[in-house]
Structure 1
Amino acid sequence: MNYILDIFDEEKKTCEYRGEIYHVKDNGSIYRCRKPGKRKRPLDEKWTLENPCKQKGYMNFSSETVHRIVATAFHGKQPSEKHIVDHIDTNKKNNRPENLRWITRLENILLNPITLSRIIFKYGSIDNFLTNPSNPIDGELEQNFDWMRTVTKEESDNARNNLTNWAKEGKIPTGGQLGEWIFNQKITQTQSIPQPNYIMSKTPNAAQRIIFHNDIPNEFPSTPQTIEGNPLKIYNESLKEGTTFFRNHNGEYVVVKSEFSKDGQSIYVITRADYVWREQDDGEYIPVPITELKEKVSIEDLPHVLTEITYENDLYVHSKVESGFHPTEELKEIFKGYTKKG
């Protein structure tokens, strides 16, 4: 599961697209409803950002492109057959609604300053492109999709601003044509002073390693408040199976197992979600604690996370080992490779 799935503000409840009913969130994720009276299909009734197409870079869901579903939900149906969905920042995996718009192909070239600058850079002029689009005069501008990924709202805004500034300036920043730099806030001389690579958590004595630009402070309830002796040993002793390790606005993650690293300088902790998402009568999805469910839930199927804890500058710093969520068995294998006992 991708971490972006949990970051959203608005859900568009009903969207009909090519005979299917979808729920759509403003993070670019979709949920296909089961057809009335029909058997549930494997992709039905689950939130997903779906998989990127290796040939074109777009996010695909079954035989559909996700961006067309999101655009339909937030911007209405396709105005005409001539209209396509424009990814304003040119990131084909950024399906946030503010990054999408219905536009004709010619308008996409003439009205999107980022696309326009890329074409001029590659072909020399718009006339050259319109005369022979198969004959660029300046090599490969950006034919791979490695830099493209799903993003938070802040990363989306940063990328669009940075690319728009590049288009206005008419030159590509040093360090590559398009890459991870586009998701960062624009660097200025006043930002040259090194900053800590973690933020303070809501729990005293706790911090969390910065992964994304809009990281929100969370709670780590098991963090020791009195430290006497070996700080990591004290923390590890509090990490009993089933105790709350992590808490955010959705709910809690509880400890599955913990162990010291092979060099004894950190602790690795496997945790799992203690809640599931359930649809309410009004169509909204809310996190429901496991203890409040009437039905049984497979613990192994719940999202699991692997975290490393270090002690730095008198703080317990929590670092997610792998970005996003991974299969439980995969995390357990990684855990074995890092720890003393495995």
Structure 2
Amino acid sequence: METSPKELLSKYSEIRECDFKERHYSVRDNGAIYRHPKKDCKPSKLDCTWTFGNKDNKTGYMLYGGVRVHQIVATAFHGTPDDSHMVIDHKDTNRCNNRPENLAWVTRLENALNNPITRNKIKYLCGSIEAFLADPSILRESASDPNIGWMRTVSKEEAAKCLKNLERWATEDNTTPKSSNESKGIGEWIYKDSPDSGFRSSWNLAWDSKETHKSYAQQRAEIEAETARHYEEQLSLKESLTPGAKQVHWKIPTEFPLCPNTHTKTPLQDYIANLIPTAVFCQNQYYHSEVIKAELSLDKTHIAVLTTTSGVTNFALTEIRYEDGFYIHESIRTFFTDEGAEKYYSLSLGKEWTGGDVLEDYC
């Protein structure tokens, strides 16, 4: 079924009003905004139109009339923070996803600690995030990098407030499931990021061995390279919690209950027979998903599986291949709309999509 941009814009359940930079807006809970004309003035060409904005390819943010859309949405649904220095965090790291539930006002410190490279630098220089937050002044003078050097001046009061927020977010992460390819929540990385603990230990060993002949610039470059390698490794092909099954683009070790435990001459057909709607497709300590539908691709190389997800997005697409005696589960992407899920499910199967544009084409 063809989906027009107007239909995507019309999928909402609540509208709120706000003033932002001397303009009045109506804002929908799907992230769309409507700019009202200035008082006693004729509407301009940007007024009186519902829009998600236009993506700025340099920053990744959605803009409208030179204003970042997420700032308008956050103001309408979350108010204006008392501290004018606070910034808006996109929880799933997708700067095009401006739904209110994906936005949160955070301090500059909280926003910085949500960056994995910054986190690992702090862990390396201070031993742990908790140690840094207990006393920000322990950040070594060597931290001359302007991206983190300013963090030495964070007050103990601000650090304590940040720690309380991290602990609160950790609790929320424990009760709110995450979809398979969402980025880790703050609570998860500060309390459960076990792969990072090993990563940090290797760098602490180097420090304890007094490899101080390297310049700090060299050390920082090595940390960044190792961090990038570490996170790429997290998403690489690895064993799952199910024997005979592997996973790609899953950060968390995951179980696939429907995966066949025997192997015949028709492995993909055997798997499809188990993919019954509403059956649990995958699960781990943080979430589970259920089958909506599954089908063998036209070239018979893989199975496309559409599942429900929880959290910010509603649907997920997985492709399953059979290689060298293993079922390979690759997480492709998640979707906000059923139209987006249907489009990319069809494309995964090798079928022609005859519908129109979907929201996910722009996210």
Q: Normalising to structure 2: TM-score of the pair?
A: 0.43
Greater share of helix: 2
Q: Normalising to structure 1: TM-score of the pair?
A: 0.45
More RCO (CA 8 Å, sep 6+): 2
